[in-house]
Structure 1
Amino acid sequence: MVSKQISRYLWAALAVLAVVAVLGYSYQSVTEAKGSFAVLLESYVLSAVTFYLLAFLVLLVIRYGIMIFYSFMDHLETLFERRTAPVALPREDSSLPMVTLVVPAYNEGIVIQAAIRSLLELDYPNFEIVVVDDGSTDDTYEKALEVAREQNDIPVRVITKRNGGKAEALNTGMTAARGEFILNMDGDSKLSRNTLRVCIRHFDNPKIGAVAGNVKVINRENMLTNIQALEYVEGLAMARKAQSFLRIVNIIPGPLGMFRKSVLQQVGGYDHDTFAEDCDLTLKMLMHGWHIAYEPSAIAWVETPSRLLDLLKQRYRWTRGILQATSKHSHALWQPRKAGINCFILWFMLFEGIMWPFSTMLGNLFFAYVGIQYGLATLLFYWWLQLTVLDVVAAAYCVVIEEEEPELIFYAVMFRLFYINIIDVSKVFATIEEWRGKAMTWGKLEREGKL
């Protein structure tokens, strides 16, 4: 354990030193060639785009800096609480509140039994499992029923209904739940054994309405899924950890979120009018004044797309769903005094969902044009390098904090070189088509049974 931790620190330090060395060399090269860059100031259009991209880069550096700072503060807060907390007797199992695990499933026959059996191994004395089959056309219901019938110790109920979408399935589970707390998850998720115990303790704070879990990739089998593993650690976990310090997590992930049942009922459960029901529900809770915490040690292992087309469909849906959710609560964008921190949350989501991908694409196209037209191809490289530096530093930090595999750091280069550019194209098309009101369908991801 100690040797692995030392290895992470060494690899992280090596990655940062390599970045510093490359930066130093690049700065020297730019300084020597600075006279040739004057062409960027020869026209108003080139000047405007150049200054816009510089401003965007500054915002991006500030964003990364804030994320790392607040996520580290949250990490220190957690360590401090563990070290200063008085030694207490373990909470009596009989006093722990009942938790209902709601598992919505649509055509999850290939993974549903493994998912349910993993839940039966959770370390918690008082919980039930409610599987909601949302009108599957495969054998999801039959396979879930098989596991339910062979289980005597932990109640497993399987409900089948006509197909109505994930939001309706989750609401059905909420209605059927007998527990005071509800843990919602996906039918293809596998939870860490400690999930219920580490999440339930957050509700000792009466202001906490929900707890978001830590989502990690289980099928790390090729470059695409390994890059997604890095993305989940750097792009999702780091952001939630930073937001958790202020108790304003803006998206409770679908694979793992625990709620007070009373709060779910108060906000009206899940709505059907977005393709990001988890984001929409989170924003509704924040608008009602509830705090949302993040528990990094509660892990949901998920199967991510291993094919590029499936990945693009997923991110297209995510982008449109988040835009739909922010649009529903857009009144808070223009009422900073009334909305408070929620105003900032929405602007931050729009920055990441719209401005970031559009600006990255603009930068790539702009510097490619300048390189071809004026012979300044090095500008495109330096643009890519600046963004890669941010990714490598963030990846090194996250590998240490999240106790992840050090080799993920090196995928940061491929992440910036091709992966995020393709994802940004998908996000831009999703944004344009959402603005135009183009109809879309859910786009079910075919599972490969890697749980």
Structure 2
Amino acid sequence: MSRAGHAARPRAHWVALAALLAFLALTLTVQGYMHHLAGVSDDGATVGGSASAVPASVSQGGPVISARGDVRTLTPGPKTIALTFDDGPDRVWTPKILDVLKANGVHATFFAVGEAVISHPDLARRILADGSELGVHTLTHTDLGSAPAWRRQLEIVGGQQAIVDATGSSTSLLRPPYSSENAAVTNDTWAAIEDAGGDGYVTVLSTLDSEDWRRPGAARILHNATPTGSSGQILLMHDGGGNRSETVAALARLLPELKAQGYRVTTVSDAVGLTQTMHPASISERVTAGAFAWTVRISDAVMGIVGWLLLLSGIVMLVRSALVVVVAARHAHTTRRARRAASARAPGAARSSSVVPGVVTDPVSVIVPAYNEAAGIEASIRSIAASTHRVEIIVVDDGSTDGTADIVERMRIPGVRVIRQQNAGKPAALNTGLLAASHELVVMVDGDTVFEPETVSRLVQPFADPAVGAVSGNTKVANRRGILGRWQHIEYVVGFNLDRRLFDVAECMPTVPGAIGGFRRSALAAVGGVSDDTLAEDTDLTMSLLRDGWRVVYREDARAWTEVPASLGSLWKQRYRWCYGTLQSMFKHRGAVVQTGAAGKLGRRGLVYLLVIQVMLPLLAPIVDLFALYGLFFLDPVKIIGFWLAFLVIQTLVAAYAFFLDGESPGPLWTLPLQQVVYRQLMYLVVIQSVFTAFAGRRLRWHRMERYGTLRAPAGQRVPSS
């Protein structure tokens, strides 16, 4: 109610948010690349493709290829077998294979997948400590022959950096995934081999495939791995990529048999006479490799946390949807039954009366705090004066500069008083009105709100229960023709009023809205009147009443029609004030969590609900949106769209039920999908700014909403719903 002011908005939080989202986007991109664009699968060779560009010295040469400068190939000597393992290291199978090798005094070459090395660096170190050697098998087990040049480079460099980070050494050995013998090299594979050779890598193919990746059984693997004749071989086996129990069993039988047949089993470098295939990495190489590996590890950890948060938020949303529907149905049934009973008790009720008979007929003081409300004050006062219940109307002009008080005085309506005061804020104006009120029952209403003739009568009926200290009415959106108005109309009906039914049943109503609320003066006096400690004076006051032991209930048929913001800027200011004020009130009344009675219900039910639904879920919303984009790019987009549609259907059904309970036409619900795409983002940005502002300890000033003068409420008629 005080003059509009523009607080210096902190900009650092937007920078922090952008940085956080950029970090999460990078994390999701790393995750998508590492785990969804490729991965270890059955290691059969790529079949097909032209080989016209492959030199004959390669297609007909040895399995070890150096393509740096002049192309050279090497082959193990007679009775020499270079034992190689692909797709590891694996937490279960690599140690078992190393144990078998050690028991037989044999060393081997392990072509490691970079992401597996990053996950199990200790195994990479053990491979070297046991006398074996490492080679690059790319970062994510990608087919280099079908990959573009940039990805080939990334895959090879990434695989190398994983090894450097784990062991402090680099390797010059490379085996492209899905490769086999020289004769199977295609033009695409050869291009990858040439590129790698230019970077100093020696490509190692195979001449003998155990086909253990097929899991044909230990006996068959043993047969496939046993050479015929005395030619030197490079034997392909696997220590990762799945269950390798058959490989371990076959290897334990194979090594003694090969030794008995006079074969020497060794590493690739030893078999073909290469020297220094493993090189100590420089400090800069180790720093770069460490940064790369930790980026992957951090992305894994963050993704794990995000996954749990997404799962939890999904569960919370589903539970909340089910809960509000079930509780709203119970609330509707209970209130209908109570009103039928009240109607039966009321003496002499006219059958033709449009007013639901009640038991409370005490006169009511209606307080209207007003600051520059010239656009709508006349409609508001006329609608209240037309009430079927006995009312006195007290308009407290809080230093208006647009002639608000003059407009009310010129109306000359009996029972309407105008009190002028210097601008002191809405809480002060309400307290002034309370001091001037003549009656115990008080209704507070904003100056941009109009009542139906029966509104006041319906609103005060719950005061028949002496334990009730306040009653919340049902705020309806009047200017709902535009898309922004429709979105807010949906929000009021679905979000606010379904929640109020839930809070009513749970006896933890946190807010009686400023647009329409009924109070006992004695209850207000007991809590010290309306406080200006927060920007959400209505929420603060309601929580104070609950903590003082009063009941606060909801009367959904007591309708008040209000103007909502018609521009995004005005909407932002309003919701920013609401959200910030709610956070202030929650913090102020945090002690209710450990209290008993009505205060405890507010703390352990109402405050927890507000914290989870109105604070935590909106804070997670940007992550949800980023994950949706991640799913469209890296997961099955059909499933992601399906999940989104499923949630949309659930929300639509909940909204349709809320509209049914409120007697509203479901027509505006066609805008619900677009609301989820646009309006929802605006709301969660409001929450983010509010939370950052609260943590920064800034004092936000009052943001008065722009009035449009669209309210027209003829006495005895409802505002049209179109």
What TM-score does the superposition give when structure 1 sets the normalisation length? Answer: 0.85
Q: Which string of whole-angstrom CA distances, capped at 9 and with x for unpartnered residues, describes residues 243-287 of structure 1? A: 222333221011000001110111111111111000000000111
Q: 2:371 aligns with which of 102, 106, 115?
A: 106
Which residue is equivalent to 1:365? 626
State how many pairs are aligned. 411
Q: Which moved more, 1:162-171 or 1:38-47?
A: 38-47
Structure 2 counterpart SS, 1:258:
strand
- Relative to structure 1, the CA distance from residue 437 to residue 158 in structure 2 (aligned partners, 3 Å threshold; closer, same or farther) is same
Look up the equivalent residue of 1:232 and give its one-letter code: Y
Which residue is equivalent to 1:395? 655
CA shift, 1:430, in A, is 1.3
- Relative to structure 1, the CA distance from residue 418 to residue 198 in structure 2 (aligned partners, 3 Å threshold; closer, same or farther) is same
Distance across 1 between alignment mates of 2:640 and 2:406: 55
Q: Which string of whole-angstrom CA distances, capped at 9 and with x for unpartnered residues, describes residues 400-423 of structure 1? A: 111101112222212212111111
Distance across 1 between alignment mates of 2:476 and 2:397: 25
Task: Decide whether the 8 Å contact of 2:574 with 2:703 is kept in 1.
Answer: yes
Distance across 2 between alignment mates of 1:151 and 1:443: 31
1:51-450 matches, within 5 Å, as: 51-84=308-341, 86=344, 88-90=346-348, 96-124=361-389, 126-147=390-411, 150-152=412-414, 155-334=415-594, 339-343=599-603, 344-369=605-630, 371-372=632-633, 374=634, 377=637, 381-382=641-642, 384-450=644-710
Q: Which string of whole-angstrom CA distances, capped at 9 and with x for unpartnered residues, describes residues 43-98 of structure 1? A: 23212211210111101111111111111101011222344553541479998212
Task: Decide whether the 8 Å contact of 2:475 with 2:515 is kept in 1.
Answer: yes
Look up the equivalent residue of 1:368 and give its one-letter code: L
CA shift, 1:36, in A, is 5.7
Look up the equivalent residue of 1:56 and give its one-letter code: S
Task: Decide whether the 8 Å contact of 2:395 with 2:433 is kept in 1.
Answer: yes
Higher Rg of the two aligned structures = 2
Task: Decide whether the 8 Å contact of 2:549 with 2:598 is kept in 1.
Answer: no
Distance across 2 between alignment mates of 1:231 and 1:38: 43
Task: Decide whether the 8 Å contact of 1:384 with 1:416 is kept in 2.
Answer: no
Task: Decide whether the 8 Å contact of 2:475 with 2:516 is kept in 1.
Answer: yes
Look up the equivalent residue of 1:89 and give its one-letter code: P
Task: Decide whether the 8 Å contact of 1:240 with 1:294 is kept in 2.
Answer: yes
CA shift, 1:371, in A, is 4.2
Structure 2, unpaired ranges of 5+:
1-34, 40-295, 350-356, 712-722
Look up the equivalent residue of 2:302 and give its one-letter code: V
Distance across 1 between alignment mates of 2:311 and 2:709: 45
Structure 1 counterpart SS, 2:706:
coil
CA shift, 1:352, in A, is 2.2
Structure 1 counterpart SS, 2:566:
coil
Distance across 2 between alignment mates of 1:93 and 1:329: 34
Distance across 2 between alignment mates of 1:405 and 1:95: 31
Greater RCO (CA < 8 Å, at least 6 residues apart): 1
Task: Decide whether the 8 Å contact of 1:255 with 1:302 is kept in 2.
Answer: yes
Look up the equivalent residue of 1:360 and give its one-letter code: A
Distance across 1 between alignment mates of 2:629 and 2:589: 38
Q: Which string of whole-angstrom CA distances, capped at 9 and with x for unpartnered residues, describes residues 133-155 of structure 1? A: 001111111111112xx223xx1
Look up the equivalent residue of 1:161 and give its one-letter code: Q
Structure 1 counterpart SS, 2:569:
helix
Look up the equivalent residue of 2:624 and give its one-letter code: G
Task: Decide whether the 8 Å contact of 1:250 with 1:282 is kept in 2.
Answer: yes
Which protein has the bigger helix share?
A: 1
Q: Which string of whole-angstrom CA distances, capped at 9 and with x for unpartnered residues, describes residues 358-408 of structure 1? A: 111211123324545x36555654554344233211111111111101112
Which residue is equivalent to 2:15? none
Structure 2 counterpart SS, 1:102:
strand
Distance across 2 between alignment mates of 1:193 and 1:208: 23
Distance across 2 between alignment mates of 1:244 and 1:181: 20
Structure 2 counterpart SS, 1:342:
helix
Distance across 2 between alignment mates of 1:426 and 1:300: 26
Distance across 1 between alignment mates of 2:436 and 2:661: 38
- Relative to structure 1, the CA distance from residue 73 to residue 253 in structure 2 (aligned partners, 3 Å threshold; closer, same or farther) is same
Distance across 2 between alignment mates of 1:388 and 1:95: 43
Alpha-carbon RMSD across the aligned residues, in angstroms, is 2.5
Q: Which string of whole-angstrom CA distances, capped at 9 and with x for unpartnered residues, describes residues 215-239 of structure 1? A: 0100112000011101100000111
Structure 2 counterpart SS, 1:43:
helix
- Relative to structure 1, the CA distance from residue 235 to residue 347 in structure 2 (aligned partners, 3 Å threshold; closer, same or farther) is same
Task: Decide whether the 8 Å contact of 1:194 with 1:298 is kept in 2.
Answer: yes
Structure 2 counterpart SS, 1:130:
strand
Task: Decide whether the 8 Å contact of 1:392 with 1:410 is kept in 2.
Answer: no
Which residue is equivalent to 1:10? none
Structure 2 counterpart SS, 1:104:
strand
Task: Decide whether the 8 Å contact of 1:395 with 1:408 is kept in 2.
Answer: no
Distance across 2 between alignment mates of 1:437 and 1:380: 39
- Relative to structure 1, the CA distance from residue 60 to residue 450 in structure 2 (aligned partners, 3 Å threshold; closer, same or farther) is same
Structure 1, unpaired ranges of 5+:
1-34
Task: Decide whether the 8 Å contact of 1:364 with 1:380 is kept in 2.
Answer: no
- Relative to structure 1, the CA distance from residue 426 to residue 231 in structure 2 (aligned partners, 3 Å threshold; closer, same or farther) is same
Q: Which string of whole-angstrom CA distances, capped at 9 and with x for unpartnered residues, describes residues 193-230 of structure 1? A: 11122122211111111110000100112000011101
